[in-house]
Amino acid sequence: GAVVSQHPSWVICKSGTSVKIECRSLDFQATTMFWYRQFPKQSLMLMATSNEGSKATYEQGVEKDKFLINHASLTLSTLTVTSAHPEDSSFYICSASKPKSSGNTIYFGEGSWLTVV
Amino acid sequence: AQKITQTQPGMFVQEKEAVTLDCTYDTSDQSYGLFWYKQPSSGEMIFLIYQGSYDEQNATEGRYSLNFQKARKSANLVISASQLGDSAMYFCAMREGSYPGNQFYFGTGTSLTVIP
């Protein structure tokens, strides 16, 4: 079964609005979660590392004011795309390391397809 | 330098045959983990197999096995008895150390197509 759950799977929003994507670890506590963006036929691009109880660490070139990350609990991290524009349309996917699994294996959420119209 | 290199953008394999997907990595750390993920067209990333740098035996998980050659810094994925459902993108990944907060590095992926 799923280890990390992400919601929503699909979202369409209007330009200028904000959209929130949730990432939950289902049967473990995740002090760290990762948010990725993936363009068609490309690899995953790390956007930010979400740390429970502290500010997220953003990768170079990622606008922290546009992609707000909140890791309010040990099982939930949220990514909010603010003032969305069509160029923000993409596939967003989160991940978390499951403790005590082999190598603290990272498991991914199902991903969220965002379309901004 | 790229941390993870996958040199095969696309691969084809006949159903029921075995296929090897190449992956080489670059790290100066002694402790690291190597992972393979499958990404079907739906987008989800499915964990397949893990190999620790200190593991002496090659990892196996059902039809998946990891050919770990430490001196060559390669971690090829072998899929035996390919099935049509194996058609997907495959990503090799590495994490240096084992701390859960350490970044994952991904290769560019290999698109596998299984031919009936």
| pLDDT on residue A104 | 79
Judged by average pLDDT, the poorest of A68-82, B5-19, B95-109 is: B95-109
Residue A103 has pLDDT above 80, yes or no: no
CB A113 within 8 A of CB A93: no
Distances from the Cα of B114 to the Cα of A66, B11, B18, B53, B58, angstroms:
40, 9, 10, 30, 24
Q: What is the mean pLDDT of chain B?
A: 95
Give kind and range of the element (H or E) at residue B24.
strand B24-25
DSSP class per residue in A17-30: --EEEEEEESSS--
Cα B101 from chain centre: 21
Distance between CA atoms of B99 and A111, rounded to whole angstroms?
24
The per-residue pLDDT for B99 is 78
Q: With an 8 Å Cβ cutoff, is A106 touching chain B?
A: yes
Amino acid at A96: A
Cis status of the peptide bond prior to A8, with omega within 30 of 0: yes
User: Is the predicted pLDDT of residue A100 greater than 90, yes or no?
Assistant: no
Mean pLDDT in residue range B49-61: 95
**CB spacing of A49 vs B50 below 8 angstroms:** no
Amino acid at B79: I
Segment B2-28 shows an average pLDDT of: 96
pLDDT digit string, tens, across residues B24-41: 999 999 999 999 999 999
pLDDT confidence band for A97 (50 / 70 / 90): confident
Nearest to B47 among A34, A43, A105 (CB): A105
Taking CA atoms, what residue in B is nearest to A111? Answer: B44
Q: What is the largest CA-CA distance in chain B?
A: 42
Q: Which of A42, A46, A104 to mutate to test the interface with B (most CBs of B within 10 A)?
A: A104
Q: Which of B44, B98, B104 sits opposite A110 (nearest CB)?
A: B44
Give pLDDT, residue A105: 86
- Give me the sign of the Cα torsion angle A73, B48, B60, B25: negative
pLDDT digits (tens, 9 = 90+) for A64-81: 999 999 998 999 999 999
pLDDT tens profile B60-84: 999 999 999 999 999 999 999 999 9
Contact across the interface for B37 and A93, Cβ inside 8 Å: no
pLDDT digits (tens, 9 = 90+) for A12-55: 999 999 999 999 999 899 888 999 999 988 899 999 999 888 88
Nearest chain B residue to A93, by CA = B44
Which residue has 């379309």 as its token pair?
A115
